[in-house]
Amino acid sequence: MVTTYSCINTETVMRPAMMGRNEVETHIGVVTLNRPEVLNALNLQLVRELDQAITDYEADDSVGAVIITGAGERAFSAGADIHENREFSPEQRDAGQAERAQYTWHLHTSSKPIIGAVNGLCYGGGTVLATSLDFLVGCEKSSFRFLAVNYGQMNATWSLPQLVGIHRAKELLLSGREVFAEEAYHMGLINHLVPSEELMDRTLEIAAGIARNRVEGLANIKQLLLEHSGLPIEQQYRNEIEGRTDRFKGLSVEEGFSDFLARKGRKPQSA
């Protein structure tokens, strides 16, 4: 299926990755928020298109991971489109908020791993999008502001503490101050900090290392981690044990270690 979008660009990138001693070809979905003239602000059309793109990638078994980034050199996303919101009636605004909440949860619970390549500023609703993803890769241009408090609102109270811990999350959410790249990296808001010119190549490399694995295994791990949130550690442990033998059952030894067993089964070559 070919989908035409007006606010995002999508492409499927093929990258090699190592599996054991073998090089395998991986397929990675790349979504670019494409409204650079307004710092990739998240109007409802963009939100709907992003939600549909993730749905399409979830249905494509050839795609092992997805990357989301922003167009241009200035912004990942400046957040919700304020000009659009001003034009809405109160009823339209409420409906739009409900739609945004639904797409955010879809990003967080997607069966495919989703990585954010934060190529510039990430403010307001952009931080809600970013912190709902599995993890982030940043560069020296990356910066974050959790701006809801400035408008008497709240967001990212459920997602940010998972990344930086409750005490740092409190500071960022209560102050709305800007967090620049180095600090964001050291507090765990971004997993990798690389030069901006290497951002996409490095993120694709990381994504390829994930995408080489079975899509079912990736989805199972994501699902169990989501279910574990807030549970006592012993319950998490027992859920994993039960999951491995029941609904998340993986490959057999013969299937999972076929390359290794094939090598061990070879007869030594004569000199």
Q: What pLDDT digit, counting tens, does each position of 54-72 carry?
A: 999 999 999 999 999 999 9
Task: Give the chain's domains with CATH numbers.
Answer: 8-211 (3.90.226.10), 215-265 (no CATH)
Per DSSP, the residues of 138-151 read E-TT-EEE-GGGGG
| DSSP H or E stretch at residue 48 | helix 44-58
Can you give the pTM of this predicted structure?
0.87
263/266 Cα distance (integer angstroms): 5
Distance linking the first and last C-alpha atoms of the chain: 54
**What are 195-229's pLDDT values in tens digits?**
999 999 999 999 999 999 999 999 999 999 998 88
The percentage of residues in the chain with a pLDDT greater than 70, rounded to a whole number, is 90
* pLDDT given for residue 213 in this prediction: 94
**Residue 268: pLDDT over 70:** no
Are the CB atoms for 217 and 250 separated by under 8 Å?
A: yes
Classify residue 110 by its DSSP letter.
Answer: -
Quick one: CA dihedral 11, 60, 252, 135, positive or negative? positive
